Protein backbone atom coordinates (compact mmCIF):
# COMPACT_ATOMS: atom_id res chain seq x y z
CA UNK A 1 0.00 0.00 0.00
CA UNK A 2 2.86 2.36 0.75
CA UNK A 3 4.13 1.87 -2.84
CA UNK A 4 0.81 3.16 -4.22
CA UNK A 5 0.80 6.26 -2.01
CA UNK A 6 4.46 7.10 -2.80
CA UNK A 7 3.87 7.04 -6.58
CA UNK A 8 1.27 9.87 -6.59
CA UNK A 9 3.43 11.88 -4.19
CA UNK A 10 6.45 11.45 -6.50
CA UNK A 11 4.35 12.46 -9.52
CA UNK A 12 3.11 15.58 -7.69
CA UNK A 13 6.64 16.61 -6.71
CA UNK A 14 7.84 16.07 -10.32
CA UNK A 15 4.97 18.24 -11.61
CA UNK A 16 5.89 20.96 -9.11
CA UNK A 17 9.52 20.79 -10.26
CA UNK A 18 8.37 21.01 -13.88
CA UNK A 19 6.31 24.09 -13.05
CA UNK A 20 9.36 25.71 -11.46
CA UNK A 21 11.38 24.92 -14.56
CA UNK A 22 8.66 26.45 -16.74
CA UNK A 23 8.86 29.68 -14.73
CA UNK A 24 12.60 29.90 -15.40
CA UNK A 25 13.67 32.84 -17.59
CA UNK A 26 13.92 32.04 -21.34
CA UNK A 27 17.36 31.59 -22.86
CA UNK A 28 18.75 34.07 -25.38
CA UNK A 29 18.53 32.82 -28.97
CA UNK A 30 21.83 32.04 -30.71
CA UNK A 31 22.32 32.30 -34.47
CA UNK A 32 25.17 30.90 -36.53
CA UNK A 33 27.15 33.16 -38.84
CA UNK A 34 26.53 32.68 -42.56
CA UNK A 35 30.02 31.46 -43.35
CA UNK A 36 30.60 29.56 -46.56
CA UNK A 37 27.70 28.55 -48.74
CA UNK A 38 25.66 26.56 -46.21
CA UNK A 39 23.36 27.53 -43.37
CA UNK A 40 21.67 25.50 -40.67
CA UNK A 41 17.91 25.29 -40.32
CA UNK A 42 16.06 25.28 -36.99
CA UNK A 43 16.26 21.48 -36.77
CA UNK A 44 20.04 21.50 -37.36
CA UNK A 45 20.10 20.24 -40.94
CA UNK A 46 22.29 22.11 -43.42
CA UNK A 47 20.82 24.03 -46.35
CA UNK A 48 22.93 25.14 -49.30
CA UNK A 49 22.83 28.84 -50.21
CA UNK A 50 23.86 27.95 -53.77
CA UNK A 51 20.23 28.20 -54.88
CA UNK A 52 20.20 31.99 -54.39
CA UNK A 53 23.65 32.77 -55.76
CA UNK A 54 22.27 33.27 -59.29
CA UNK A 55 19.32 35.48 -58.29
CA UNK A 56 19.67 38.72 -60.27
CA UNK A 57 19.91 42.00 -58.39
CA UNK A 58 20.12 45.59 -59.58
CA UNK A 59 23.18 47.50 -58.40
CA UNK A 60 22.95 51.26 -58.92
CA UNK A 61 25.02 54.26 -57.94
CA UNK A 62 23.48 57.55 -56.96
CA UNK A 63 25.65 60.56 -57.75
CA UNK A 64 23.07 63.03 -56.47
CA UNK A 65 19.59 64.34 -57.06
CA UNK A 66 17.80 67.55 -57.95
CA UNK A 67 14.23 68.82 -57.78
CA UNK A 68 12.74 70.93 -60.54
CA UNK A 69 9.40 71.85 -62.02
CA UNK A 70 8.09 70.52 -65.30
CA UNK A 71 8.68 74.00 -66.80
CA UNK A 72 12.39 73.86 -65.83
CA UNK A 73 12.66 70.29 -67.15
CA UNK A 74 11.20 71.31 -70.53
CA UNK A 75 13.69 74.18 -70.79
CA UNK A 76 16.69 71.80 -70.60
CA UNK A 77 18.56 71.21 -73.84
CA UNK A 78 21.89 69.82 -74.94
CA UNK A 79 24.67 71.40 -72.88
CA UNK A 80 22.40 72.38 -69.96
CA UNK A 81 23.85 71.80 -66.49
CA UNK A 82 21.70 70.47 -63.64
CA UNK A 83 23.08 71.22 -60.18
CA UNK A 84 22.89 68.22 -57.84
CA UNK A 85 22.57 68.17 -54.07
CA UNK A 86 26.00 66.57 -53.53
CA UNK A 87 29.40 68.20 -53.23
CA UNK A 88 32.20 67.30 -55.64
CA UNK A 89 34.27 64.49 -54.15
CA UNK A 90 31.53 63.38 -51.76
CA UNK A 91 31.01 59.59 -51.68
CA UNK A 92 28.26 58.16 -53.87
CA UNK A 93 25.50 55.90 -52.58
CA UNK A 94 25.58 52.24 -53.66
CA UNK A 95 22.06 50.79 -53.85
CA UNK A 96 21.08 47.14 -54.23
CA UNK A 97 17.49 46.78 -55.42
CA UNK A 98 16.87 50.34 -54.19
CA UNK A 99 18.31 49.78 -50.69
CA UNK A 100 21.41 51.69 -49.58
CA UNK A 101 24.15 49.16 -48.76
CA UNK A 102 27.42 51.10 -49.14
CA UNK A 103 29.19 54.32 -50.07
CA UNK A 104 31.99 54.57 -52.59
CA UNK A 105 34.08 56.64 -54.95
CA UNK A 106 34.34 56.54 -58.73
CA UNK A 107 37.41 54.89 -60.25
CA UNK A 108 38.43 54.17 -63.84
CA UNK A 109 39.40 50.58 -64.68
CA UNK A 110 40.47 49.73 -68.25
CA UNK A 111 38.68 52.79 -69.69
CA UNK A 112 35.46 51.90 -67.82
CA UNK A 113 33.95 53.48 -64.74
CA UNK A 114 33.90 51.49 -61.54
CA UNK A 115 33.31 52.11 -57.86
CA UNK A 116 35.62 51.53 -54.92
CA UNK A 117 33.58 50.79 -51.80
CA UNK A 118 34.68 52.98 -48.94
CA UNK A 119 32.01 52.20 -46.34
CA UNK A 120 29.50 49.37 -45.89
CA UNK A 121 26.20 50.34 -44.26
CA UNK A 122 25.47 48.21 -41.17
CA UNK A 123 22.23 46.22 -41.00
CA UNK A 124 21.08 48.43 -38.09
CA UNK A 125 21.55 51.57 -40.23
CA UNK A 126 19.66 49.95 -43.12
CA UNK A 127 16.72 49.17 -40.84
CA UNK A 128 16.67 52.70 -39.40
CA UNK A 129 16.52 54.17 -42.94
CA UNK A 130 13.37 52.14 -43.73
CA UNK A 131 11.25 54.40 -41.51
Q: Is residue 1 included in any domain, yes or no? A: no
* pLDDT of 55 higher than 80: yes
Q: Is residue 100 included in any domain, yes or no? A: yes
In this structure, are residues 71 and 83 in contact, taking their beta carbons and an 8 Å threshold?
no
Q: Is residue 121 included in any domain, yes or no? A: yes
In this prediction the pTM is 0.53
Number of domains in the chain: 1
Q: Which domain holds residue 103?
A: 54-129
Q: Considering the chain, what is the average pLDDT of its residues? A: 77
Q: What is the pLDDT of residue 104?
A: 92
Q: Is residue 85 included in any domain, yes or no? A: yes
Q: Domain with 91 in it: what CATH number?
A: 2.30.330.10
Region for residue 2 given its phi and psi (left: phi exceeds 0; alpha: psi -120 to 50; beta: otherwise): alpha
Amino acid sequence: MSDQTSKPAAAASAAAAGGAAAAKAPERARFDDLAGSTAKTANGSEVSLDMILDVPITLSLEVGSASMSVRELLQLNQGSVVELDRLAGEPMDVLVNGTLVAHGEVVVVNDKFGIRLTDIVSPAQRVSRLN
